[in-house]
Structure 1
Amino acid sequence: MASTSTSATSKDSPEPSPDVRVWLGNRQAVEEVTDHERLAAMTDTELAQQGEPKVRRAIPMKKACTFLNIPGGTPLLEGVGTVVKAWPHMSDASAPAWVASTSGAYASLLAEHFGGVEVREPEDPDVMHGPYTTDTAAVAGETKGKG
């Protein structure tokens, strides 16, 4: 598998770095959604202090795949940190079942971080065909997902 660069584009290269996609095998997928009942009972002051209340609920799938897109030009360790920070919001498992990425460097670092989980190729059928639990766009330091 060819790795794509995750470093910022050099002055000599007119083309921007491509986005990096990371897939995570997610056996305990969850989603975080607004708790409308608690929200309705909150005062404006409580809402300002605590933010919008969320509730976690399991997504009933035996096998699932969650993926994130890291914008091109994001430094490698910053992008890996974004994935690591996003994981607890997507799963009740302590680590993904496996990782795959369009970047070998991302896949290797994430597999090591999560305790030596299996690294898969993006062409693997479980990676390419889901089922997907979340289409998450990861931005350095911020994660936005469907709720």
Structure 2
Amino acid sequence: MTDEHTTSPDLQPRLVLTPDQWRQRLSDEEYHVLREAGTEAPFVGEYTDTTAEGVYRCRACGAELFRSTQKFHSGCGWPSFFAPLAEDRVVYLTDESIPGRPRTEVRCARCDSHLGHVFAGEGFDTPTDLRYCINSICLDLEPARTDT
């Protein structure tokens, strides 16, 4: 995890909008979480308990961020993933907004929207021992295609 803002050739170009443009694009609640680093209430998000297969995209810009195969149930009240789709899909920032409890903020690499936080060493039986605690309101699930 690094504090860099980089993109790979696989990502769409960076999306930079003014606050007014973001407000036109997002609901008030989406704007608060995605653009002002807010947090939705636990256990109420659309994807907290979802087990559907597919790709989770950034609700602000549509960038592919996580796969359902990386999602697990942590019981924390928000969707949890053990890894992003690829490391270049997210950026990490030090978050010291809670005194005495530093955290690592996770943002979308394409549009710099706040997604949630990542925690390490919590003892979950996952391949990475990381928990990406992501607000449902920051995501859109694109269901996996089923060929019939």
| TM-score using structure 2 length | 0.24
Q: Which has the higher helix share?
A: 1
TM-score, normalised relative to structure 1:
0.24
Q: Which has the higher contact order (CA 8 A, sep 6+)?
A: 1
